[in-house]
């Protein structure tokens, strides 16, 4: 739990609880998506459009394939990988990327629990290419698309980040860097 708090500034998520109303359990906003979708197919299909121009910290583009790979790691992890949150998504039949900027979640049945589960603040979006090579890479390494780029980590002491100049939200972050103690 303490590790995920320290790494959150380095990553983006698909949706999140509205930061202007953090106590709400029903008000969600886009992080990587362009707008909150209206469910279709009787409440069983959610189609998210992904922001264009988002880059990982290595400069490579973030696409819907990265979003799908990250969610599959949670919903249906590969052999040898555990997912403590898998049970939260038992309603999901599949997740797919029909094009580079669209992610579709198809549910088995409509569920009011889906969006709150999707807004998990630690459902980081990882680079698919890295997950394909080593699904455990992110257990010891950091590379996301969030507002800060990883600088250093001193075990038991601190973690440091610097402003991501390519962050997709103009004018943010408001700081040049941070040190978490």
For 99-146, the pLDDT digits (tens) are 999 999 999 999 999 999 999 998 999 999 999 999 999 989 999 999
Q: 2 falls in which pLDDT band (50, 70, 90)?
A: low
Question: Residue 86 carries which DSSP code?
Answer: G
Residue burial 138-158, b: 16+ Cβ < 10 Å; e: rest = beeebbbbbbbbbeebeeeee
Sign of CA dihedral 174, 180, 120, 56: positive
Q: Is the pLDDT of residue 3 over 80?
A: no
20-to-17, 23, 27, 28 alpha-carbon distances in Å: 9, 9, 10, 10
Q: Residue 112 has what pLDDT? A: 94
**Location of structure tokens 């103690």:** 181
Query: What is the pTM for the complete model shown?
Result: 0.94
For 22-57, the pLDDT digits (tens) are 999 899 999 999 999 999 999 999 999 999 999 999
Distance CA 158, CA 12 (A): 21
Q: 4 falls in which pLDDT band (50, 70, 90)?
A: low
Q: Is the pLDDT of residue 1 over 60?
A: no
Average pLDDT over residues 3-13: 86
Distance CA 120, CA 115 (A): 9
Q: Residue 25 has what pLDDT? A: 87
Q: Residue 181 has what pLDDT? A: 83
Q: Residue 173 has what pLDDT? A: 87
For 50-104, the pLDDT digits (tens) are 999 999 999 999 999 999 999 999 999 999 999 999 999 999 999 999 999 999 9
Q: Is the pLDDT of residue 9 over 90?
A: yes
Q: With CA atoms as reference, report the closest residue to 89 among 68, 107, 66.
A: 107
């Amino acid at each position: 739990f303490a590790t995920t708090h320290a790494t959150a500034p380095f990553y983006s998520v698909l949706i999140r609880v509205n930061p202007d109303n953090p106590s709400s359990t029903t008000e969600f906003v886009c992080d990587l998506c362009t707008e909150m979708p209206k469910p279709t197919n009787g409440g069983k299909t959610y189609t998210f459009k992904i922001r264009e121009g988002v880059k990982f910290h290595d400069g490579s583009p973030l696409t819907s394939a990265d979003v799908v790979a990250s969610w599959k790691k949670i919903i249906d992890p590969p052999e040898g990988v555990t997912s403590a949150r898998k049970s939260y998504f038992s309603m999901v039949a599949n997740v797919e990327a029909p094009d580079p900027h669209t992610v579709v979640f198809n549910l088995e049945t409509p569920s009011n629990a889906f969006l709150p589960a999707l807004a998990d603040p630690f459902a980081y979006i990882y680079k698919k290419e890295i997950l394909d090579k080593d699904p455990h890479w992110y257990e010891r390494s950091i590379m996301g698309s969030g507002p800060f780029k990883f600088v250093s980590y001193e075990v038991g002491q601190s973690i440091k980040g610097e402003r991501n100049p390519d962050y997709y939200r103009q004018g943010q972050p408001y700081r040049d860097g941070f040190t978490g103690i």
